[in-house]
Amino acid sequence: MQGRTIQGVQRSVSTDANKINKDRFRELFGFSLSDLSSWEAVIRLLFRPEDPASLALLRVFFGILMVMDTIHERGLHRVSEIWGDPDQCQFPLFDFLKPLPVEWMCMVYLSLILSALGICLGLMYRINCLIFVICYWYLFLLNKTAWNNHSYLYGLMGILLLITDANRCWSVDGLLFPRKRHAHVPLWNYTLFRFQIFIVYFIAGLKKLDMDWVQGYSVSSIEKHWVFHPFRLVMSDEVIDLFIIHIGGLIIDLSMGFLLFFDKTRKIAFFFLSSFHLMNSQIFSIGMFPWMMLATMPLFCSNDWPRKFFQKLPLCLKFVTPQNHDLQTSDHCLYSKEDIKPETSGMKTKSVSSSASPPATKPRAYHKLFTMVTGVYILIQCCLPYSHGITKGNNAWTKGLYGYSWDMMVHSWSLQHVRVTYYDLNSGDTGYLNPTAWSKETRWTFQPDMAMQYAACIADHLQKYNLKSIKLNFDVWRSLNKRFQQRMYDPRVDLLTADWNLFRKTPWIMPLLVDLSDWRTKLREIEKNLMETSSNADVVFVADFPGLFLENFVHSDLKNTSITLLKGEVTVEIQKHNFTLKEGEQMQLPFNEFHTVHTVSTEPSCYMYIFVNTTDVEFQRNLTLYEQMINHTIPQSEIVGNVTLMDILNGIKLRQYQQMLQDKFIQQETSEMSLWQQFNWFINSKYSIVTRSCKFLLGALTSIVTRQPFEEIMNKTSETELASRNNKETEQIHAVS
């Protein structure tokens, strides 16, 4: 009997321990392992009723930020520049997507603004979400040159809002339809948003495990920004660049998604993420992204945090805050029988009326469908950032198209040289085209699919000049993460007939010379030593493949230009004379002439151009003299070198000197602004953008109604504004006189 009693006590202790462990697990993660024990258990977990308050606030913030994003980053304030020129080449994801006439593109922007306002207010919520998603993704897919990760995130959040119940709290729909007012939302609504934000951080961190990022080569020239002034008290710029920007950014992205999930670590995450996003808002021009990420942070708190927050406000403020209401049941959630009994319910639920149908207690087709939708969405978002092994045709030096892989800031590009050459197959003539003639964007210079699109667009334009049978070659020189400048595309390949397939590796992409990556430390030292020797000198590091050549022209401004061979062997051709350079050798290059550098070694050649812009040096010297003269620090008759100050005053560049000094004065005034002046300047600049956007919308509506050309209406508006401004200036002059 005693043995049995001891065994019973042990079983009891074991049962209590398991119960405690389960309670700890639920307290830590918000659910228990038994919630994952079966398909039906998972469904019940995902459709567990939750407070809609936190989701409602996200809806409000999203709507407000998307109104501002439409005006600013989507480009309403420069809609004519983006879509107004029919000769500009476009880069849609799918060729069947075409831009509408510019006045109708304005209507797309107007639809975005109105639908975003509808989302914010919770008015006709589903309809406005659908309009927003259609218009937003139309603009997004229409222009790959504007792709970035946060724009992609906005589109995903629009889709998530469309399929979730974010209008169940503090919405106009709730006022109009009592059944939606303060009704529960299923847990999967929060699950998808939390997962999406977690993915943004975590996969961005995984992408930053790239050696270029870890070694500090990805981001450059931001360590001197004023936001890093506190660190500069104890650190050098090099240490800030490596440990604060690169290593710190890696740690934040890898860890913050996890820290947000747990109550005990969430305050730490809030501190670092708030600092991180506020700093980014000052360093980078990334629109509403920092503010959107700040708005998503409270999603990881308890779902009823807004109600608790409003309850703690002083009585004098409660009349302007939402009232706290009991929650009612929702057909979109699953309840246990005990939950919906008023006398036993621990949840604040109530029925709308006695005739209202009771809430679901067993999974229906709707619940099963959206459980699968949740799983499929999570699976897609886990796989899509790593889908480049399938879409091989989009791969170049980096994997895939930029803008949906969360590889934020991992790659920094430098564009040195672009030459577009056409060959007329009928006449045998060769010509060179301005690379920006039909597109001001440069993303086509490192995305093979966009290079093909641009080549086809150029060929269409050249047909207007009776060039109907041509070959087209692109010679693009780029540097990735501070490596040598090297060719991106094979310059011998005709891009009009080149082989390209989305699912096959592009054969005419020149490989990134990763074997030369270790040179970057040496290149940095060379550049640093050169700057110490001569502040006016500049240097370009070049690497080329065996059998290829670089034809270059030394401008007359660059009277002091030399080439130095760092590795391999090259032959420099000048006026049909060849000069061979071996490693370490240098030669001076004549200005105002072409020269050709042939790589004759069996391995890639590496060389550097060192040049001094003598014209710019002279300009800066004369500018300094002119500034000293107008400040009365030196007399006008004084001779400096071979130049008198009167020569400067009578020179053709006097207007340039005056403009440069004016810009310098404005910049100095801006840097010395008080906080109030900076705020006032910020408001005025944003007001200017908003008023310009409104003028475009008004002009578009007028054009559609009156059928007058949009350009003609906008020109008249500009002329009227200019005349009004001139009249005001004239009146002010008369008043002063």
Contact 425, 467 (CB under 8 A): no
Selection from 341, 442, 618 nearest residue 89 by Cα: 442
Tokens of 473: 């070659």
Beta-carbon contacts of residue 414 (< 8 Å; ≥ 6 apart): 478, 479, 482, 485
CA 162 – CA 179 distance, rounded (Å): 19
Strand 486-487 with 593-599, pairing: unpaired
State residue 474 phi and psi, 5-degree precision.
-110, 125
β-partners of residue 567 are: 606
Contact 540, 484 (CB under 8 A): no
Beta-carbon contacts of residue 452 (< 8 Å; ≥ 6 apart): 495, 498, 500
Half-sphere exposure of 536 (CA within 13 A, CB side): 15
Half-sphere exposure of 42 (CA within 13 A, CB side): 12
CA 18 – CA 444 distance, rounded (Å): 60
CA 518 – CA 526 distance, rounded (Å): 14
Beta-carbon contacts of residue 31 (< 8 Å; ≥ 6 apart): 45
208 is catalytic: yes
What is the DSSP code (8-state) at residue 76? G
Selection from 354, 351, 345 nearest residue 330 by Cα: 351
Beta-carbon contacts of residue 213 (< 8 Å; ≥ 6 apart): 207, 246, 249, 250, 410
Other Cβ atoms within 10 Å of 639 Cβ, number: 10
CA 604 – CA 320 distance, rounded (Å): 70
353: left (phi over 0), alpha (psi -120 to 50) or beta: beta
Task: Give the distance from CA 96 to its chain's centroid.
Answer: 25
Active-site entry in 208, 350, 392, 505? 208
Strand 593-599 with 569-574, pairing: antiparallel
Contact 610, 535 (CB under 8 A): no
Contact 555, 590 (CB under 8 A): no
* Amino acid symbol at 118: G
* Amino acid symbol at 505: K
Tokens of 668: 């100095």
Tokens of 298: 């409270």
Other Cβ atoms within 10 Å of 6 Cβ, number: 10
* Residues known to be catalytic: 208
